[in-house]
Amino acid sequence: MHEHGRLLVETKGHKGILESRKHLVQYLHSLPGVKEYRKSLVSVESLEDIDAVLMRIRDEHAGLLETKMARGDDILTETWSGEACVG
């Protein structure tokens, strides 16, 4: 998500930030608490704002992300449900 946002800003400037709002929320499909993260992402004004949301996601879902990465799951396409973490 960071890289996607960075590329949009790099190529389109502030217009890239505005465009990132609609694209970045797509990465969060099925993530627990997705509504709150979407609310934050649709109002970002800078790459730093995007990074702040990403840090919040990392902090709040560290165990889930670590489990998925350790198993080699594709965290962008796998479900974020609790059942997916059991294994």
| Residues 58, 66 contacting (CB under 8 angstroms) | no
State the alpha helices, DSSP H only, in 1-87.
Answer: 2-12, 14-24, 34-41, 47-60, 62-71
pTM > 0.75: yes or no: no
pLDDT at residue 7 greater than cutoff 90: yes
The rounded mean pLDDT for the chain is: 80
For the chain, domain boundaries: 2-79
In this prediction, residue 75 carries a pLDDT of 53
